[in-house]
Amino acid sequence: MAINEPPESLTSSNDDNNNLRRRRGDGAKAVDAVTELDSSSQAEASSSSDDVTSDVRDPRGSGGLDTPSEDGERKEEMKVNDETTPLKYVYRASAPAHRRNKESPLSSAAIFKQSHAGLLNLCVVVLISINSRLIIENLMKYGLLIGSGFWRSSTSVRDWPLLMCCLSLPIFPLAAFLVEKLAQKKYMNERVTVTLHIIITTAAILYPVLVILRCDSAFLSGNTLMLFACIVWMKLVSYAHTSYDMRQLAKSVDKGENSEINYSYNVSFKSLAYFMVAPTLCYQLSYPRSACIRKGWLARQLIKLVIFTGLMGFMIEQYINPIVQSSQHPLKGDLLYAIETVLRLSLPNLYVWLCMFYCLFHLWLNILAELLRFGDREFYKDWWNAKTIDEYWRHWNMPVHKWMVRHIYFPCLRNGIPKGGAMVISFFISAVFHELCIAVPCRLFKFWAFLGIMFQVPLVIFTNFLQNKLKNSNVGNMTFWFFFCILGQPMCVLLYYHDVMNRNGSAS
């Protein structure tokens, strides 16, 4: 039985393989030939040759994975045959057009694996066109509403007591420094020191509240003073808490309990003065510093701050005020009308809120950090990608978040309070100060801001449940945007405006 001659089938198979090998190297040859075409044909042919030649190079047509050895042999054969394969062998009808499983670009399995810059550009163009139409329509309906009175509204004579109160706030850090200096010299014990710090911090927040309530000042002036007072209060709490901790550590070193630590407790007025003006709420003896002040960069940020502040004023006067003034109380009237008003107010309110964030957390804090050469400028994180309400609060305002973690949350945990209880206490303190910053300048205590912040606790639980259950970041992110920006803030604006108007109407 002769076995020297190969069977016919094997011979034909080998011939086919040789033909395919001759066609494997046609990729580079195709590209060289295509360069002779016109520019439009060249772009089409180059993109097609990438797909088709890759199909031709795989004689199996199955979309299977190649081993490294097979891939190396194929590359060598391509290199040899690149100079000999004519262009007419590239686009063969027998070349497989479908070789492996692929997802549609917008399917959930592939949507995050590619760039969507074109769709983002489309959204920007659509937003510009829509808002341009709204601006023109608003100007045609109301005219230009913003005037010089807007800029002078917070500089009237009745607001000077608030300015004097703001200028007198440094008295409280000075008193805290004197208390710490006396405690360092051991002129008073720990109980007296802590008691004096409690009195100082309480007076620092009550003093502006009493001044605002006794003076008929504008809302903007009162709100600014309350923000400064809350910042001073938080800084004083951090200073007292940190100094107490440093005293305890110094005592343990003196007793030899931590002999390996080289530590000395020092009360420095210079460090306290720098801390009171630095863009941070957490006290420490030294901070990371930048090398120099970039004057050109600083000038650009100041120009941006002026532009965006003016833009906020324009949107408030031109859009928010007319909508609010022509609205009804959202809790006393037609439900559909209230929903329509909230939705109408949500867009300009969102723009003002985003401008406020950009002006305060990016421009102003960076300007202050540049002037003071403050190095740590992580004033916010990517809160816009927050998948839960909890993640938003941890990324939105980093100075306050670090203060809460350092002086509220972890001290609660160290005292045996569970994590849930510590979170509720943190939100409670935040709710109290949100209410102070809004209700005191309005001279109206309806607790809408307080309830709005405390409502974040069940929202945290709800969005965490959605994220763990669905494993989809889009659901939690859309829930955050809806509750916080579309529903929450416009509703709060409407409630406070109508309550203030009703109070003024009843008083008159």
Name the residue type at position 25: G
C-alpha–C-alpha distance, residues 419 and 268, integer Å: 35
C-alpha–C-alpha distance, residues 248 and 225, integer Å: 35
Q: Which residues pair with 289 in a beta bridge?
A: 374
What is the CB neighbour count within 10 angstroms for residue 412?
A: 18
Cβ atoms of 350 and 485 closer than 8 Å: yes
Residues forming the active site: 434
The secondary element (H helix, E strand) that includes residue 500 is helix 489-507
What is the CB neighbour count within 10 angstroms for residue 454?
A: 18
Phi, psi for residue 112 in degrees, rounded to 5: -95, 5
Name the residue type at position 177: F
- Tracing tokens 């990016």 back to the chain, one arrives at 362
- Alpha helix stretches (DSSP H) within 417-485: 419-442, 448-454, 456-470, 473-481
- Torsion angle in degrees (nearest 10) through CA of 320, 321, 323, 324: 110
Q: At what angle do helices 365-372 and 269-277 cross, to 10 degrees?
A: 150
Q: Which residues pair with 374 in a beta bridge?
A: 289
Q: At what angle do helices 68-81 and 8-24 cross, to 10 degrees?
A: 70
C-alpha–C-alpha distance, residues 215 and 443, integer Å: 10
Cβ atoms of 466 and 479 closer than 8 Å: yes
Distances (CA, A) of 275 to 73, 358, 362: 67, 23, 19
Cβ atoms of 454 and 434 closer than 8 Å: no
